[in-house]
Amino acid sequence: MDAVRGQGMYPLHRCKTIHLVRHAQGFHNVCGEKDHSAYMSPEFFDAALTPLGWQQVDNLQKHVHSKGISRKIDLVVVSPLLRTMQTAVGVFGGGGFDNGIKAAPLMTENAGESDRPAISSLNAPPFVAMELCRERLGVNWCDKRKNITEYKLLFPAIDFSLIDTDEDTLWTVDVRESNEELAERGQKFLNWLWTREESEIAIVTHSAFLIHTLSAYGDDCQPPVKEEICRPFNNCELRSMVFVDRSMAASSSPKTNFPGKIPDGTDAPSEDNVEKN
């Protein structure tokens, strides 16, 4: 029994594989890392990716393709801010529009003054925008989003139907979301994930959201594993996790299990044989 004390086993349909991604470098990061008060400047309202940020996106896109991750993902969930959507479509999108193949664009050409070509939805998983995985709300202008009508023009193939209001009614100029409120919102987001049928999901979000959401996990692990789960994310870092439902709250049913069958009648094994075998 000592050999299995550090191990766990769970039914596959009660687990999800989630690929957590922090957005690539935005213009606000460049100034904010030198002077934290820069995050409060209206100059960085809904900040876009820097040229270096787009290089980070290209590097991660190559990684997810070389490791076969992109072929497995059933859904991409993205925070509805410019830098996260640019990162998400750049990493998990369908590429360009070569050979005249028609598909709705995940991102239009030069979206967010990016100087980037359009990105197709061809052979890409569905993308859905979700407010619950936004960055910490309030005060910092880089964390305020534009109207959804503006985003729909830039990201036509992203599904914004889960967002209730066109205008950003969550962000306020004078009240900053607390750590506890952010952690609670993160838990609501993870609870929402269990309502989805998809089993392998990429989530493109933000540093503080990841830090405070993941802080609730890993206490039942050895300290190095807890640290691996909870350490801060670099720009455009991807970390893959298995998310386990221990509460039996998951709605999905087994898709790969096979019930088998004991033959009826004279071919059925006796109880003695069943016990011996």
The single residue of 19, 28, 131, 135 carrying the catalytic annotation is: 135
The single residue of 23, 28, 206, 212 carrying the catalytic annotation is: 23
The DSSP annotation for the chain comes to -GGGTT-----GGGEEEEEEEE---BHHHHHHTT-GGGGG-GGGTTPPBPHHHHHHHHHHHHHHHHTTHHHH--EEEE-SSHHHHHHHHHHHS----GGG----EEE-TTTTS-----EE-TTPPPEEE-GGGPPPPSS-GGG----HHHHHHH-TTEE-TT---SS--S--SS-PPPHHHHHHHHHHHHHHHTT---SEEEEEE-HHHHHHHHTTS-TTS-HHHHHHHHSPPPTT-EEEEEEE--SS------SS-----PPPGGGSPPHHHHHH-
> For this structure, is 135 an active site residue?
yes
Q: What are phi and psi of 239, to 5 degrees?
A: -135, 125
Relative orientation angle of helices 179-193 and 207-214, to the nearest 10 degrees: 80
Burial of 97 (0-12, 13-18, 19+ CB in 10 A): middle
> For this structure, is 23 an active site residue?
yes
Q: What are phi and psi of 24, to 5 degrees?
A: -70, 175
Which residues are the active-site residues?
Answer: 23, 135
